Amino acid sequence: MAIDKHSFSEFLEHIFLAREVPIIIAEDQDELHEYSHLLDQAGYHEQESVYHLIQVSQSPTKDYLVLDDHHPYTIKQAYDFVVQYPTGQIEVSDQVTLQKAVFSPNYQESTCLLLITHRELQKVESTGLEFLSHTGMAYQSPAVSEENHEVNQNA
């Protein structure tokens, strides 16, 4: 299913100045790559870790972080980031350098969001890390929305 670029653009317009981290839920890896490409075109920059996200966010910027099973520590760190983001102060450690970073979000000039597949989100949430209860606005493809609706009706 193709991404509705108009509704996606509207989503991006509404997440600026958010005090909670928005999340984009892709149907699969192919759609995740499409969203990543659209974000790049919209001026967002992919960061490889939460630590890097914090480092570049000291100046006005638009960034995103892809959550996948290739970086399990990043998922836990992203969860901590999402939980702390609305408080106005975030502290994380870089696993490689063991450096700590303390960050106060610049809600007026910067934005960041998470990008994850539906399957990965289900897997992560089954471990007890409930991203959706701590994130801000969420955007997902109609196919994922329909699948969730069917699951909820059958429950």
What are the residue boundaries of the structural domains of the chain, listed by start? Answer: 18-150
Per-residue pLDDT band for 146 (boundaries 50, 70, 90) equals: low
How far is the CA of 45 from the CAs of 25, 52, 88, 108, in angstroms?
18, 11, 22, 18
Q: What is the pTM of this model?
A: 0.85
- How far apart (Å, rounded) are the C-alpha atoms in residues 4 and 17? 23
pLDDT at 144 over 60: no
- Output the pLDDT for position 119: 94
Q: What is the mean pLDDT of the chain?
A: 84
pLDDT value of residue 43? 95
For residue 98, pLDDT over 50 is answered with: yes
Grade residue 155 by pLDDT with cuts at 50, 70 and 90: very low
Residue 154 has pLDDT above 50, yes or no: no
Q: What is the DSSP letter of 112?
A: E
CATH class assigned to 18-150: alpha beta
Tell me the three state secondary structure of residue 138.
Answer: strand
Side by side, the strands of the sheet bearing 138-140 are 45-47, 62-67, 111-117, 23-26, 138-140
Alpha helices in the chain (DSSP H): 5-15, 29-41, 50-56, 72-84, 118-125, 142-154
| Most confident listed range (12-16, 39-43, 52-56, 145-149) | 39-43
Residue type, 2: A
Instruction: Tell me how far apart the alpha carbons of residues 152 and 70 are, in angstroms, rounded to a whole number.
Output: 29
Q: Give the Cβ contact number of residue 50 at 10 Å.
A: 26
